[in-house]
Amino acid sequence: MSLDTSITPDEQVNSADAAPAQAAQDPEAAQHAESSASSESPEPTANAETPAPAEESKPKRGRPKGSSSARKTRTVELTLTVTGTADGEWQAELKHGSKWVARGLDIPASAVSRAARELHEELSAPIDEVINAAREQQAAKVAELEAQLEQAKQALAELEN
C-alpha cells in the first residue's frame, strides 16, 4: 500500500468518498476505483474488530450539522417597581439588570391607574382599590379640615364683634 504525502489524511478520506460519485459519471473509472479499493483494503475476518476511525476522536470544525441558523431571542431584564402609600402618593423605580436606571420618581395616582389598566385587568383592580381607599381617606381629611376652618371662622367673627 502506498501513501501519498502531498495530501492530508482528511483529503484522502474525501477522495475515497468521491470515488462513488465519479462512478456515476464515468463507469470505467468506477471499475478502476472498485478494483483498487478491494486490493487496498483486505476483508475483515469475523474475529477481528474494526478499528474506530481516527476522525471521530477529533473535534469537528465549524458549526455542527443540524444547528439552527435562526437567531435566539435575547431577553432583557427590566424591573419596574411602583410603590404606593395609603395617602395616595406613588413612586416608581426602574432597574436594568442590577443597575438602577431611575429611583424615587413621583408618579400621579391617575397615571398608575391608567398604566395598570393598559397592562392587564388583574393588575388594575387591586391598584384601583388602593387608589379609591386613599381617595376616600383624603376626602374625609378634607371634610375634617373644612369643619375646623368653619370653627376658626366663627371664632374669628366672635372676636371681631
pLDDT in tens, 41-74: 555 555 555 555 555 667 677 766 666 666 778 8
- Residue 64: count of CB within 10 angstroms of its CB: 6
> Confidence class of residue 2 from pLDDT cuts 50, 70 and 90?
very low
Both 149 and 92 in one domain: the answer is: yes
Give the pLDDT band of residue 3 (cuts 50, 70, 90).
very low
Lowest average pLDDT, out of 16-20, 95-99, 115-119, goes to: 16-20
Number of domains in the chain: 2
The verdict on 93 and 144 lying in the same domain is: yes
Domain extent, residue 144, equals 78-160
Based on the domain organization, do 35 and 83 belong to the same domain? no
Distance CA 20, CA 56 (A): 22
Please tell me the distance from the alpha carbon of residue 62 to that of residue 75, in angstroms, as a whole number.
Answer: 26
**Is the full-model pTM beyond 0.75?**
no
Please give the mean pLDDT across all residues of the chain: 76
Distance of CA 65 to the CA centre of its chain: 24
Higher-confidence residue of 79 and 23: namely: 79
Out of 13-17, 127-131, 152-156, least confident range:
13-17
The reply to whether 99 and 32 lie within a common domain is no
Tally Cβ neighbours within 10 Å of residue 112. 22
Above 70 in pLDDT, residue 14? no
Higher pLDDT, 88 or 123: 123
